[in-house]
Amino acid sequence: MRIDILCLFPEMFVSPFSHSIVKRAEGKGLVEVVTHNIRDFTHDRHATVDDYPYGGGAGMVLKPEPVFEGVEHVRRVTGTADSPVVLLSPRGRLFTQGVASELAGHAHLILLCGHYEGVDERVSEHLATDELSIGDYVLTGGELAAMVVVDAMVRLLPGVLGSDESAGEESHAGGLLEYPQYTRPEEYRGWRVPPVLLSGHHAEISAWRRRQSILKTAARRPDLLSR
Ligand code: 4FM
C-alpha cells in the first residue's frame, strides 16, 4: 500500500513514522508513506498557501490551487486516477476501526491535512472523495490526524503485526471494550491478580473475560452496548 500525505508541515511526520510500527511495515515493504509540502505547489514568490476568507471573518483559508496541483502531482507520479482522497478536518465523518479497515483495503490513498480556520470548500466538494474527523476536538492542523489514520490502518495490513500481536481480538473490533489484563507479579502493593486467571480453567477464564468486557463497556461506553 502507498499513502501520499499533502500537508504544510511534513517534518512533523519524521519522528513518529521512524519509531512506530509504520517504520517496521515500511522495512518489510508492506507500506510506503510519502509526505509532500503543499507550499511546493505554489507559483508566487512568497509561496502563499492561505488567504483571507471571502465575506470576511477571522482567520485564513487554505487556497485551493496548491492543494489541487499537489494531488495532480501525486496522481502523475503514482499513475493513479481514482484512489481515495481523504480530507482530515473536524467536519468529517467520524474515523472508526471500521473506517480504518475499509481504507486499509486500498492499494493507494491520498491524505489532505486541513489547516487554519478552514480549507477552500472546493477542495472538499471537488477534490476530496471523503472527509474524516478523528474526533470532536479542534487540532492546529490535520497532520496529527493523518498520523492517527496511518497508524490505525497500517497495523491492519497483512504481515505487519506478528501472530502474537494480531489485530483481531481487541477493543472495538467486536464492539466491546477489552477485558482487564494482568502480568507478573501475582501480588503488587497488596493488589492481587483475579484468582480465576491463575486457575488454568480455560472455559471459566473466557466467561470471566466476557463478563468483564460487558461490565466495562456498560460503565464507560454504554453507547457501544446499545448498538
Ligand atoms: C482545524 C483542520 C480546522 C481544518 C483543522 C480546520 C482534525 C480532526 C482537525 C485541524 N482533523 N480530525 N479533529 N484538524 O482538528 O481530523 Cl478548518
Quick one: which of 131, 160, 158 has its CA closest to 22?
160
Q: Is the CB of residue 26 less than 8 Å from the CB of residue 34?
A: no
**Tens digits of residue pLDDT in 185-220:** 999 999 999 999 999 999 999 999 999 999 999 999
Quick one: which of 136, 141, 114, 146 has its CA closest to 34?
146
CA-nearest residue, atom 11 of ligand 1: 89
d(CA 163, CA 170): 14
DSSP state of 115: B
119: enclosing H helix or E strand: strand 118-119
Quick one: which of 76, 96, 74, 99 has its CA closest to 85?
74
pLDDT of residue 173: 56
| Model confidence at 170: pLDDT above 60 | no
| Model confidence at 166: pLDDT above 90 | no
| Ligand 1 close to Cβ of residue 131 (< 6 A) | no
| Ligand 1 close to Cβ of residue 86 (< 6 A) | no
Calculate how far, in angstroms, residue 220's C-alpha sits from the geometric centre of ligand 1.
26
| Model confidence at 18: pLDDT above 80 | yes
pLDDT of residue 168: 61
User: What pairs with residue 51 in β-bridges?
Assistant: 61
> What b/e readout covers 70-82, taking b as 16+ CB neighbours within 10 angstroms?
bbebbbeeeebee
Average pLDDT taken over every residue of the chain:
95
**Tens digits of residue pLDDT in 77-135:** 999 999 999 999 999 999 999 999 999 999 999 999 998 679 999 999 999 999 999 99
Q: Is the CB of residue 114 less than 8 Å from the CB of residue 141?
A: yes
| Model confidence at 20: pLDDT above 90 | no
Cell of 37: 509540502
Alpha carbon separation from 129 to 34, 87, 95, 147, 159 (Å, rounded): 19, 8, 14, 19, 28
- The 10 Å Cβ neighbour count of residue 39 is 16
pLDDT of residue 172: 66
| Ligand 1 close to Cβ of residue 99 (< 6 A) | no
Calculate how far, in angstroms, residue 138's C-alpha sits from the geometric centre of ligand 1.
5
Q: Identify the band that residue 169 occupies on the pLDDT scale cut at 50, 70 and 90.
A: very low
